[in-house]
Amino acid sequence: MLSACALLGAAARGAMGAHAQAIRAFANFASQYDYDLVVIGGGSGGLACAKEAVNLGAKVAVLDFVSPSPRGTRWGLGGTCVNVGCIPKKLMHQAALLGEAINDAQAYGWKIASPETIQNDWSALTEAVQNHVKSVNWVTRVDLRDKKIEYVNGLGQFKDANTVIAVMKNGSKKELTADKIVIAVGGRPHYPNVPGALEYAISSDDIFSLDTPPGKTCVVGAGYIGLECAGFLKGLGFDATILVRSVVLRGFDQEMAEKITNEMLDHGVNFQFKCIPKSIEKKANGKLLVTWINTESDTEQQDEFDTVLYATGRYALTKDLNLPAAGVEVVPENGKIDAINEQTNVSNIYAVGDVLQGRPELTPVAIHAGRLLARRMFGNSKQQMDYDNVATTVFSPIEYGCVGLSEDKAIQKYGADAIEVYHSYYKPTEYFIPQRSIKNCFLKTITLKEAPQKVLGLHFVGPHAGEIIQGFAAAMKCNLTMEILMNTVGIHPTVAEEFTRLNITKSSGKDPNPASCCS
């Protein structure tokens, strides 16, 4: 009888043999073309797809070209996340949290020589952030070279369904043919048709490398990008005003959005609700005069700012791809691609990442979808991307992590009588000294009412929300129930344990405030 190790070894050898056989079978599969795969877009999703395809024996080229922002900002290989998104945003958020921690440190006995003189050096911060970004750009280039993926620094445009023309910075052109093509161009910030917006405003494309301190800033838009930018700017010592057209954090749980709004108000961020910008004018003193209209009172208001930052959504970068030449269809309203299982209406052309219609615009989503797509294209895999129950976090001054359905969407899908909501306020140990307000430290679990109460959504507002929600996202994938959650022993004292202590339902009408830290 074979031992368990021998059986595992045989299975591993069999899997390796099948893998090698698949690669050998694929070797001349697309010999009529220059490449087995061409990826248009050097962001997270496109790079993940390209690397996985190479691992499976494919010959791959990646095209990437960054058009400058209206303010002239450019960046290197790696896409939005690395250059002007998740990474620099988190670093700026951390810088703001550290400023808050310096003040808190005094209550813990740390002697700060001159607390009143503590301030952030914007130039030093942006230099440190950009140095890190450039290092990631370089590592990415080296990684492509080591994997023998051809990198073409050119704007990809379709000639036909199997041919892409790369237009270089100097105007020269390079033609590439491929059996399969993946569109992974992502998106860029949207500038509305408001006088002065395009001429004078910046976006998230510009804020992380801004040459001079932003000063008093008007943020137009109350989505997660707008809140995060306003939050870290205020934390770094700059006045911040947010113009809110409709609701804060549209698409997220609105009860949690209210907690974040209240916390940011307490931090000194100014919100102008139901307001839309009318114009931006540059004054003789260099200040920007912003005029906006309150849609409820139908009145006009004005204020002067040093910087205006637009965060009113993003558009897909498909317009310059000449998609009609390949027969690829897009959604007319936003230029996105409606692709079932990442396959467009043209059988050999695929799309991943933010360019997809109706999919979460999140870097890890693009990465995972890109890898799975490569395995289906070149590794005989059948596994499809699961876009349900994807966790995310808003890195506002008090963080908000969530996974699954919001309360409103759960009611819409199942009906109010079919769901139960467990909720609680809590006090983080970190807030004991100094005594900080806990009025917005809140969490809730949305479940089906019927036992064993399958969990439909988890929402957490408080410190380290991103780190906390990640683990519970895995539990959601394993069909977490309230029964399991209530029988999970928490780690004390942590804020993550608050999910295991939930026992008060909204329907009970009981007070969701804790009696003590150990109740």
Among 143, 184, 150, 147, which residue's Cα sits nearest to residue 56? 147
Give the whole-angstrom CA distance, residue 518 versus residue 516: 5
Strand partners, 445: 422, 458
Residues in the chain: 519
Type of residue numbered 170: N
Residue 340 is given by DSSP the state B
**Residue 318 CB contacts under 8 Å (≥ 6 apart), including other chains:** 183, 185, 330, 335, 336, 337, 355
User: Does 492 participate in catalysis according to the annotation?
Assistant: yes
Assign 219 to helix, strand or coil.
strand
Q: How far apart are CA 301 and CA 278, in angstroms?
A: 10
Tell me how far apart the alpha carbons of residues 184 and 175 are, in angstroms, rounded to a whole number.
19
Separation between Cα atoms, residue 1 and residue 17, nearest integer Å: 23
Got the DSSP string for 232-296? Answer: HHHHTT--EEEEESS-TTTTS-HHHHHHHHHHHHHTT-EEEETEEEEEEEE-TTS-EEEEEEETT
Tokens of 151: 């990198």
From the candidates 19, 93, 459, 492, give the one annotated as an active-site residue.
492
- Give the number of other CB atoms < 10 A from CB of residue 98: 12
* CA torsion through residues 468, 470, 472, 473, sign: positive
Strands 217-220 and 307-310: parallel
Amino acid at 90: K
- Write down the residue that tokens 């080229």 correspond to: 61
Q: Cite the active site residues.
A: 492
